[in-house]
Amino acid sequence: MNEYIGLTLIVLGVLFDISGCIGLVRLPDVYNRIQASTKCVVLGTTLILVGSLVMLDTLSATIKGVICILFILITSAVAAHALSRAAHRSGVPLWHQSVIDKYAEDGEAEGPVRNTGEEAPL
């Protein structure tokens, strides 16, 4: 019984990972890529870890796995926030159909140049 629950969780996790990486490839903008891929891949990896812990079913592995899951849940959000803030401050342009830019409106940064439809500069 534990085996089937664990396998179901692992399959769900791999599907979430694949959808997050498709978002990483297909979306047009670094900010869109951050918000799609970080959430999906973190949920997928968490599901894979929970499934493998359910399948192993030992106490020491469960304790270490819960520590690993909490660490991933905290640090990936922090890393994604740091990356998007760094990208905004270093002037990576938004997609030309983006409608709002609250960080530039706050006046904390000079704001990236809004590109007008052509390819993003390197």
Using a 10 angstrom Cβ sphere, with 0-12 exposed, 13-18 middle and 19 or more buried, the burial of residue 45 is buried
Which of 92, 98, 101, 104 touches other proteins (CB under 8 A)? 92
15 near other proteins (CB under 8 A): yes
Is residue 5 near other proteins by the rule CB under 8 A?
A: no
Q: Distance (Å, rounded) from C-alpha 52 to C-alpha 36?
A: 25
The whole-angstrom separation of Cα 67 and Cα 82 is 22
At closest approach, how far in Å is the CB of 114 from other proteins? 15
* Using rule CB under 8 A, residue 94 touches other proteins: no
Residue 104 binds other proteins, judged by CB under 8 A? no
